[in-house]
Every structure is written in C-alpha cells, then in structure tokens.
Amino acid sequence: MNNRPSPKLAIHRREFLGLSALGLGISLVGARAAAAAPSVASPDNVAILYDPVKCVGCKACQMACKRWNKLPNESTDPLGIYESPRDLSAITWNIIKLRRTEVGWHFFNYQCMHCTDAACVEVCPTRALFHDPLGFVALDRQKCNGCGYCTQFCPYGVPHLQVANLLTGEAKSAKCTFCQDRLWSGIGGPSCAEVCPVGALVWGKRGDLLDRARARVAELQAQGLNARIYGENEAGGLRRLSILLGEPEEYGLPSVPKTPAFARAWQRIIQPLGNVAFGAALLGILGTFLFVRRKIRMEEVK
Amino acid sequence: MTVQLKGRPEVIQIQWIPKYTTLERAAHWIHTATFVPLAITGMILYFPFLEPLAQGEAGLFIRLVHRVAAVIFGLLPIVYFIFEPRRLLMNIREFLPNKEDLGWLKAAPAYYLLGRHEAMPPQGRFNAGEKMNGLVMIVAWAVFGITGVPMWFGKGVIPPEIFRWLVVFHDLAMIVSVCMFLVHLYLAVAHPLMWAGLVSMRFGVTSAEYAMVHHAKWYYGPKRAMEIWEAKKREAAHKGGH
C-alpha cells in the first residue's frame, strides 16, 4: 500500500488548506501598507521658517508662489481690507493675512504646514499625496482622482479641490507643494522663501532652522514679547515652522492638531475591522458551502 | 401548472401563489444591478491593494460610475413608494421582528447545515433571515443617502468636523451591507435548499406546497399556523414519550 491518505481525507485537507489560505489572504489584504511616514521629523528635512516680526506684508511670497506654480488670478472681495484674496484656495497656495493678537495687528503667512503626521497623506486613497524623502508633503496631480478627503481631514484646511464639475465629481486637489519641482530639479528652494526681501520666510534644513528659531524666540522674549515656536512637535513636527506672538488659537492654528489621529482611527481601525467582517462572512459562507455539499443530499429533501 | 416527467406516469400538480409584484421584482434586480457596481467602485477607494484603479483618470471614472449608480440606487425605493405605497408599507411591516424570530434563529443552523426543518417555528411572508436582510438593506440605503449626498455636494459647505464622520458612517454601512449581501447571494444562488427564493424573485410566485411549510403564517394565517405548529409539537412529544 502507498502512504497517500485516502481520497476523502485528501479532500478534507485540501479544503482545510484552502480555507486557511483564504483567511490569511484576507488578513494580508486588510493590512494597509504602512505609509512611509517617518514618526519624527528629521533635522535633515527641508523646512521653511516664518518670522512675523520681520514680515512687512509686501506679499512678494504670495506673488512668487502664483508665478512659479502658474496659478491664475483670483477675483477678490473689493470690501476686503488687506487680505486679498481672503483665504487659501485651489489657486492660492500662499497668503499673507492680518492677525490681531495680544501685541496688536501684524502679518502672518499661511501655506501648507508639511506635517510629519499628515492627515492628508493618511486618508489619500491614491497616494497622490505622499511624504517626499526630502521632508515635504508632495502632491502628484496625475494620480489624484479628486475624492477630496484631504480637504476635509487637514487640520489646517490647506488642500482645496479644483472642481471641474460638481455633478460628475471631476476635480483635482491643490495645495502648496514646497515648490517640489524646484527642489527635485535642483533649481533652489521654495519660491516664497527665495523671494522674501526681509528674511521673514527662510528655508533650509529643519534642524538648523529650529536652532535659528530658538535663538530668535529668546531674543524676542528678551524684548518682553510672548514669543514661541509653532511646529516643533505639532502633528509629529511641521516642516513649516513659525514664530508666534501669542497662543496658536489667535492665529487660527490648533494647539493640538487632532485630525491625524481621527484619520488613523478611520483607516487603521474601522477599515481593518471591516476586512475582518468580510473575511468572516466569506469564510463562513465557504465553510457552509463545503459542509452543506456533503451533508444535504438533494434526493432526500422533500 | 402540471408537470409530467418523461417516462413517468404520475402528473405533478404545482399550485403557484403570487409573492412579489412585477415592480418589486424589477426593483430588486435594479437594486442588485446598482448595489454591486456601487460596492465595487467604493471598495476601490477602500482597499489599498486596489490603489492603481483609484488613481488619476481611472479614479475619476470609478467615481463617476459610483455617482450614476448611486442616483438610481437612491431613487429606486422612492419610485417604488410612488407606484406601490401600500405594498411598500406592507413589506416594511412584515420585516419587523416578532417573537417567533428567535426560535427561527435557534433552529436555523440545523436547517441550513443539515436540512432539518422540524424545529423551525412558523414564519410569515418573510422568515427571520429575510427580515434581517431587508432591514439591513433599508437602514443601509438611508445611511448611504444621508451620508452620501453631503459627501457629493457638501465639500466646503458643511463643516469638515461633520464630513469626517459622514465618511466613517458611509464605510460602516458598506461593511455591514456587503457582508449581508454576500450571505444573501450565497443562499440565493448556491444553497441547495433555497432554490424557491430565486424562483419567486424571477417569476413573482412561490409554490403553495413550499409556502405551506416555510411560510405557514402567511399561507394559513397566523392563528391557524400556530395551531398546526402546536399540534405538531404535541405529536412529536407524544411520539418521543413512547
């Protein structure tokens, strides 16, 4: 006699192996490929530092951004005071606004914060938004399908949808890309920082900029100002560092950006739970199918 | 309807009784024909391994398919309500749980796995499993609509804090309804004892003989069905005593 198991047993074994393979497959499919996000911003990352005390509000940064990224003009509210346009949009990625804080009115520059713990990258289903190895959050518009999740999860309200057709949903996400094409082709740094005539916006290695920011904050504090760094640890560390003269809330910035945690809970807890549910349903059905096929003889069913 | 099998003298008599209207069957199949593409296109954004299909032009296309299917999926029950409001309300009433459902759920494994029907308490036009499927689909339809319409038109209009929850609830409704759908699909097309369901959904009728056994409360009326059920239980107990 040979050592091969009886045919009946062989079927059992094959089915068992099949079921196990299916279960394993489902759990593998369920594991969202870990985004290549470093948990801590590296000091070697490129970054921008903004110093509102140096800023004179000339808007050269805003213009340079428009010009380099070929962004069209935006018709603006004629009653608007200094702020024009009023806010970031799909065609305005960099803007100077007037803020009233405890030290009175002063300018503040808004653009993408290039978070380490970026909610937009987390929720993007196409990987159009991704962490560039240089440190910034890059955007590949070719890959974007216009779903708009990034616009809804960003704690800073930075990405905006350029909607071509609301009905069909045809759209593309748009945001400050750190002038990714300038960095990738070695032309230089982000045009806003390159153009700034007073050194309010500077770019460089994040570690160096943090040192500069600390020294600057100490200097401002010595003058009696309530100065602080924003972005050292927020959302895992921002690559757009700012010096604030007051609470982050006075600038419309969250002290604790919570949405990255929400985005993670959605895609790393609820979706895997869903995969477990799909897996259980499929395994249950397959198990029942195989069991029933053997147990219920149609000839005996009345 | 009479059927005579080849080479057999006896004639089988089948009495068909109506179960679904034409509109109900059409609605069921249009619902299927929209639910499946909705689930598939939705899952392309859901499963990371389907990412290539979500990117760029392909992604724009699947989002368009999702929207076209969603409009039909969303309007379908409303059309049904306009043309057959009383049937719709009757069906919803029949989907509501009652106390026989628990007994049915307890007896279901023996029936579905081993083909033993004896312990199944009498059921109405829908049994407890069908009710579960119906209720899940009704609730999911509502959740898809309530969350989906603002996700379509509400970006930049509704606060992001609310939008984030809409996405989560849209996902949850999808997870529950797709699981239900998988079970429903298997039972309808592959389970050897469930052939009657597909016949009813294709031709709108069910055989009296099947209804007598499986939907006794519908066939006999609740009172008579319970009497028959009690008598059967007494008889079984009597036999068991000997």
Q: How far apart are CA B100 and CA B93, in angstroms?
A: 15
Chain A residues near residue B51 by CB distance under 8 angstroms: 125-127
Whole-number pLDDT of residue A8: 44
Whole-number pLDDT of residue A4: 44
Whole-number pLDDT of residue A80: 64
Chain A residues near residue B153 by CB distance under 8 angstroms: 166
**Domains of chain A with bracketed CATH:** 46-261 (3.30.70.20)
Q: Which of A278, A289, A296 sits opposite B114 (nearest CB)?
A: A296
> Do A43 and A205 meet the contact criterion of CB atoms below 8 Å apart?
yes
CA distance to A55, A175, A182, A202, A252, per residue, from A188 (Å):
22, 19, 6, 12, 30
* Residue B48 touches partner A, C-beta closer than 8 Å: yes
* Residue B174 touches partner A, C-beta closer than 8 Å: yes
Instruction: Convert the pLDDT of each residue in A118-152 to its tens digit.
Output: 999 999 999 999 999 999 999 999 999 999 999 99
Judge: A266–B171 Cβ closer than 8 Å, yes or no: yes
Instruction: Convert the pLDDT of each residue in A259-298 to its tens digit.
Output: 888 888 888 888 889 999 999 999 999 999 988 888 776 5
Print burial letters for A154-185: b (CB count within 10 Å at least 16), e (below 16): bbbebbbbebeeeeebbbbbbbbbbbbebbee
> Do B30 and B72 meet the contact criterion of CB atoms below 8 Å apart?
yes
CA dihedral angle for residue B91, residue B95, residue B96, residue B97, rounded to 10 degrees: 150
**Domains of chain B with bracketed CATH:** 18-95+136-190 (1.20.950.20), 97-125+207-242 (no CATH)
CA dihedral angle for residue A10, residue A14, residue A17, residue A22, rounded to 10 degrees: -160
* DSSP-derived secondary structure letter, A225: -
Tokens of A148: 């708009």
Whole-number pLDDT of residue B190: 87
Percent of chain A with pLDDT strictly greater than 70: 83
Instruction: Convert the pLDDT of each residue in A151-179 to its tens digit.
Output: 999 999 999 999 999 999 899 999 999 99
* Confidence band for B14, pLDDT divided at 50, 70 and 90: confident
- pLDDT(A3) > 50: no
Q: How far apart are CA A146 and CA A218, in angstroms?
A: 44
Judge: B183–A284 Cβ closer than 8 Å, yes or no: yes
Q: Which residue did the predictor score with more confidence, B225 or A175?
A: A175
> Do A90 and A160 meet the contact criterion of CB atoms below 8 Å apart?
yes
Whole-number pLDDT of residue A36: 44
Percent of chain B with pLDDT strictly greater than 70: 95
Whole-number pLDDT of residue A91: 95
Q: What is the mean pLDDT of chain B?
A: 89
The residue written with tokens 């399908």 in the block is A145
* Confidence band for A32, pLDDT divided at 50, 70 and 90: very low
Q: Which of A148, A271, A296 sits opposite B193 (nearest CB)?
A: A296
- pLDDT(B150) > 70: yes
Residue among B220, B194, B214 at smallest CA distance from B120: B214
- CA-angle at A159, arms to A80 and A44, nearest 5°: 115
Judge: A170–B60 Cβ closer than 8 Å, yes or no: yes
**Mutation site for A-interface testing, chosen from B40, B41, B55 by largest number of A Cβ within 10 Å:** B55
- pLDDT(A98) > 50: yes
Whole-number pLDDT of residue A18: 64
* Residue B191 touches partner A, C-beta closer than 8 Å: yes
Q: Which residue did the predictor score with more confidence, A22 or B117?
A: B117
Residue among A126, A99, A104, A112 at smallest CA distance from A48: A112
CA dihedral angle for residue A101, residue A102, residue A103, residue A105, rounded to 10 degrees: 30
Instruction: Establish, for the pair of chains A and B, how many residue pairs have beta carbons separated by less than 8 Å.
Output: 130
